[in-house]
Amino acid sequence: MALKVYIPTQQTHLSVDELRSLLPPSITIIAADSPPDPADYEILVSGFPDSALLEASPRLRAVIVPFAGTPKETIELLRDYPHISLHSSHYNVAPTAELAIGLMLAAAKFIVPLDRELRNNDWRSRYGKTRTIILAGRTATILGYGRIGKRIGLACKALGLRVLGIRRHAHAGAPVPEGDPADAIYPPSALDSLLPQSDVLFIAVPLTAETEGLIGADELAKLPRHAVLVNVGRGGVVDEAALYHALRDQQILAAGIDVWYQYPASEADRANTPPSRYPFHQLDNVVMSPHRGGWLSAAEPDRLAEVAAMLQAAAEGKPIPGEVDKTLGY
């Protein structure tokens, strides 16, 4: 079945030629700065569409966001267009989970400050009292036990951790599906009761009205003092000030953070934009990562393959994968 797809080149960083090579001739890709004339595309590939793009083609039936994590403003805009479905790519499951495990290990073992010391020929930490913790036998709680969360859980299980998952549609007391790495899966209402037993807390949920500020000062205070927090979801899920103060005051042991509170507004700002209003960079119990979970050149073939699969499904009249619930926000 023929399908017309429009990709605004100025805002969508995709290799259009490579994408075309993955698709049959029946799928026409139009890549341009402005919509074609006549505007008769059925699918719009864009992470940040505006009303003009949504209204230009009367045939538009779906928007595909070609990266993981649908922007809040895009979801809010699409709510005004109930006839247009919204879909997000999930190509980044493996690299995001891998980074989460890397951040956990680096934070729990204080790899960064120890590396820095030894580069200065300083061996004293080897002989002093260590702040690191042994992870085997500990408990990892994964807030956001979806595709990424399960992959994090699988790796944690291999390291000898007990795994507790929290997901929106879980039912308290329900058995864990066979083959799932979690020891138990809970609904969000169980969060407060799980925090005191969480030696590692992974944040892997999207930022929505329900999750914004979900982990604040009260929640951080419930964690053990030796706890490690890892955030690969969105910065706003964890209260910025509360997290900084909990780390500064050693209320928790350490954190590995890939998602932040301030981002460069332009290409020129990329060389000099602090990720937070607070000086996390001054703390030696924080591992800082510049939101690289899935934003990797090495993952680009996977991203193109997933967008191609979504377009192929649309052309065949099948449900397009990765539909976003506009009400829930993910």
pLDDT in tens, 194-235: 999 999 999 999 998 899 999 999 999 999 999 999 999 999
The predicted model scores a pTM of 0.89
3-92+297-315 against 93-288: fold identical: yes
The pLDDT assigned to 296 comes to: 66
For range 153-179, the mean pLDDT = 93
Q: Is the pLDDT of residue 68 over 90?
A: no
Q: Give the architecture-level CATH label for domain 3-92+297-315.
A: 3-Layer(aba) Sandwich (3.40)
Environment class of 96 (CB within 10 Å of its CB; exposed 0-12, middle 13-18, buried 19+)? buried
- The span from the CA of 115 to the CA of 107, in Å, is 12
Give the whole-number percent of the chain exceeding pLDDT 90.
Answer: 85
Residues whose CB is less than 8 angstroms from the CB of residue 123 and which lie 6 or more positions away in sequence, other chains included: 117
Give domain limits for the chain.
Answer: 3-92+297-315, 93-288
Superfamily designation of domain 93-288:
NAD(P)-binding Rossmann-like Domain (3.40.50.720)
Report the Cα–Cα distance between both ends of the chain, in Å, rounded. 29
Structural contact between residues 260 and 231, judged by C-beta atoms closer than 8 angstroms: no
Residues whose CB is less than 8 angstroms from the CB of residue 329 and which lie 6 or more positions away in sequence, other chains included: 70, 72, 75, 206, 207, 208, 209, 210
Q: Give the type of residue at 298.
A: A
- The span from the CA of 220 to the CA of 227, in Å, is 9
Q: Is the pLDDT of residue 97 over 90?
A: yes
- The span from the CA of 234 to the CA of 142, in Å, is 14
- The span from the CA of 141 to the CA of 185, in Å, is 10
Q: Is the pLDDT of residue 298 over 80?
A: no
C-alpha angle 191/194/197, rounded to 5°?
150
- The span from the CA of 5 to the CA of 108, in Å, is 46
Q: Is the pLDDT of residue 84 over 70?
A: yes
Q: Give the closest residue to 260 by CA, choosing from 292, 290, 294, 296.
A: 290
For range 274-302, the mean pLDDT = 90
φ/ψ (deg, to 5) at 140: -110, 125
pLDDT band at 193 (very low <50, low <70, confident <90, very high): very high
Q: Give the type of residue at 48.
A: F
